[in-house]
Amino acid sequence: EDQVTQSPEALRLQEGESSSLNCSYTVSGLRGLFWYRQDPGKGPEFLFTLYSAGEEKEKERLKATLTKKESFLHITAPKPEDSATYLCAVQAEGTNKYIFGTGTRLKVLA
């Protein structure tokens, strides 16, 4: 069964304290892995697409990486405005369905 697991469930960081979020997946043929940021009461905002092992993408303080089993979202020197829930989703081959993980709630303290 296709599955996505994110850890940790919640993370509190001091401003400037770098860390990584994990997304482990089991899927029968990966079409793509996606990272989203979601602020409370808003729709998820697309961040990155990764679709082959070894691929990396960067945007400001965020860097996403992909292996055959997991993806990491590295946050370098985070700021309070990076506080949000970060969602990981995978799209399996032969389907138009996206399987979401339960997310990591990130809180960055000033």
Partner 1 sequence: DTEVTQTPKHLVMGMTNKKSLKCEQHMGHRAMYWYKQKAKKPPELMFVYSYEKLSINESVPSRFSPECPNSSLLNLHLHALQPEDSALYLCASSQLRVPGELFFGEGSRLTVL
C-alpha distances in Å from residue 66, one per residue of 14, 39, 75, 108, 109: 26, 24, 15, 24, 28
- Please report, as residue ranges, which positions from 86 to 105 form the binding site for partner 1 (by CB under 8 A): 87, 89, 91, 96-98, 100-103, 105
65, amino acid identity: T
Q: Is residue 31 close enough to count as binding partner 1 by CB under 8 A?
A: yes
Q: Is residue 26 close enough to count as binding partner 1 by CB under 8 A?
A: no
Q: Which residues contact 60 (CB under 8 A, 6 or more apart)?
A: none
CB of 57 to partner 1, least distance (A): 12
CB-wise, 65 or 91, nearer to partner 1?
91
Q: Is residue 65 close enough to count as binding partner 1 by CB under 8 A?
A: no
